[in-house]
Each structure stands twice: as C-alpha cells, then as structure tokens.
Structure 1
Amino acid sequence: MTDVVIRPARPEDAPAVARLGQTTFVETFVEGFGIPYPPAELEPYLESSFGLATTTARMADPAEAWWVAEVDGTVVAFAQTGPNALPHPDGRPSHAELKRLYVARSAQGLGLGTKLLAVALDWMAANGDGAEWIGVWSGNLKAQKLYAAYGFEKAGEYEYPVGSWRDREFILRRG
C-alpha cells in the first residue's frame, strides 16, 4: 500500500522541493511540451527560479504558504501560494495567487495535484481580500481544465520570460 501524505512544507523540505521544481519544469515544459528554451539560458533560469537558496528564502517568507505531497516518505509534489503578483489591472498584492503546483511525472495520476489545489485554494480564500489568481502556460490544457473545474476563468494574458524566450501565459481569476 502506498502511504500518501499532504502537509505544510517545512524548512528541511527545501532541497527536495528545489530539485522537484527543476526536474518537473524540464519534464513538463521542455520534454513534455517541447518548448525550445535556449539551452544556455535554461540553466540560469532554473537556478534563479528553483535553486536551493531561492527556494529556501521563498519557503521562509511568511507571506507565502507551501505544501508538499509525500508518497512513501518522498516529496513528489508541491504547491506554493502567496500575494498576487500577476500583471493584471484588477490584480492586487492583497489578493492571493497560486504560484506553482508541480507534480513529479512519476506521481501523476494519483490525484495529488487536485488534493494540493484544494488545500491551496482554502489558504487563498482565507488569506486574500479579493479575487484569486493563477498564471498558467497557454498550452497546458490539462491544467486549464482543472482550474476551470474550480471556477477559474481566463482574465488576461502576459509574456513570462525564461531567459530571452517568452512563454504566452494565461491569467486566470476566480471571484
């Protein structure tokens, strides 16, 4: 039997979360969706976004909340929420944003993303004073379908930089 635990992240989870963030980004966007990020720029992006120092600092930020999903004691998914930072004219930092919801390829299909989303949405409702926000890559239809099932609707678009590459991102809003 597989032992699955969803819990708030702890400081000692930072190395596992950092590795998972880097690995899942590459598995999802480079390998899965085939986005041709410039190779010389991908590694610096991964380090600045998911490096251990960055992850440790973000996890220690009292304005953010993180959860992990463990399967048999191994961190295989995480969710990160915090003040909204998406570039939308109606968005405010006092609103809440789901910043990341990452599930390792090996753990997909276990319902961990949905479980983490539910926990994150509860936090967002309790810690924001307005709409709830999510940024999602325009080509990630599976994620968009999941968020739509929870009442999120497209409210805008923006370009998300990965080095000199620009991803077309959708801004989703609920409330």
Structure 2
Amino acid sequence: MIIIRATEQHWAALSLIAKDTFVDTFGHLYAAKDLEAHIQNKYNQAVMVHEINTEHVYLVCEDDDKAGEAPFGFCQLKPDSRSELMPEDEYASPCWEIHRFYIRKEKQGVRAGAKLMEFAMERIKEAGVKSIWLSVWSENYRAQKFYEKFGIKHSGKTFTYWVGNHADLEFLYVGKLD
C-alpha cells in the first residue's frame, strides 16, 4: 500500500469512496431521499475540490497505483480547526480535525486504515499540532475502538449530526499531542 496527496483530479474517486462508505455504514439509518440529498450536498465536485485545495487530503492505494487512479481509502486533515466543545485552556493550539477517514469495506481489516492513520498522525506531528479531534457516531463501535488505538479518546462530550430529519448522536473524540 502507498499513500499519496490528493489533487483536484482525484475528486471523483474521493467522492465515490465517501458515498459508498457512508451508505455502507449509515445508509440503513436514513430515508432514501434524505440520504441522497446528504450525499449530493457533502460529496459533490465543488465541495470535494474545495476540500482538496484547503485541507490535507491523502489517498491510500495499491503499491502499483502511484497516480492514485484507484484509491480504496482517504483521510482529510483540516488545519486550524477546533470544535466549539474543546476549550482552549484544555486543548492547546494548533488544533486540527481529522475531518474524514474512509476505507472501503473490502479493505477493512487488512491494516489499510492503520497504515493511513499512522501516516496522518506523522503529518499532524510534523506540523506541530498540539490537539486533534474528530466526530464518531455513537454506535460505530468499530471506529471508536480504532481511534482509541491511536490515543484519540471519547471526551465525554456529544452533539447532534443531522441527515434530513434524522438526528444522530455523535461523540467528540480528542487527542493531545506532545
């Protein structure tokens, strides 16, 4: 497996991974029209290109896919992002968000996610980041366990994430870096 930085040319592949992974993980929760609207709003070309240009977006691919033509996962690191639930006196700046972390279902369980997270954590530390955060669905136990292996823990704080008229309980996960 190799990891490369995403460019604008990768937007469609990222969008497809995001859509497929979101539907695989959460699709059963939502009405079809709400799910489709959410996907269209969050993973369209304009959004994906903007995020590629303003965040650190990395693809994980097979060793022979050096151009990133067929990635099977990606993560987005959002610089200078702080959850309103993270007081500055407790979580030092700079603070970054792990905005998205998606691995295709068929590549889960083969260390693709671990390799991508190790890479992401190296980039975060190289940037001198002191605090990181992400949100995770309260019932996504596999993801919670995964993040905890990397020292990113449930803060005890929660918030609501809306998809259409459906409210999901999200956990705020945080990590402090040396």
Whether 1:66 and 2:51 are equivalent positions in the alignment is no
Does structure 2 retain, via aligned residues, the 8 Å contact 1:86–1:135? no
Read off the aligned partner of 1:80 and give its amino acid letter.
Q
1:150–1:128 CA distance, 2 compared to 1 (3 A):
same
What's the offset of the Cα at 1:129? 4.4
Whether 1:172 and 2:168 are equivalent positions in the alignment is no
Whether 1:77 and 2:68 are equivalent positions in the alignment is no
TM-score normalised by structure 1 residue count: 0.86
**Structure 2: gaps spanning 5 or more residues:** none
TM-score normalised by structure 2 residue count: 0.85
- How much identity, in percent, do the aligned residues show? 26
1:129–1:110 CA distance, 2 compared to 1 (3 A):
closer
1:76–1:154 CA distance, 2 compared to 1 (3 A):
same
**Structure 1 vs Structure 2 CA RMSD:** 1.9
In 2, Cα distance between the equivalents of 1:85 and 1:160? 17
What's the offset of the Cα at 1:127? 3.4
Q: Which residue of 2 aligns with 1:86?
A: 83
Q: Which residue of 1 aligns with 2:159?
A: 158
Count of equivalent residues: 166
Does structure 2 retain, via aligned residues, the 8 Å contact 1:87–1:158? no
**Structure 1: gaps spanning 5 or more residues:** none
Q: Which residue of 1 aligns with 2:44?
A: 51
Q: Which residue of 2 aligns with 1:5?
A: 2
Does structure 2 retain, via aligned residues, the 8 Å contact 1:95–1:128? no
1:5–1:135 CA distance, 2 compared to 1 (3 A):
same
> More deviation in 4-13 or 90-99?
90-99
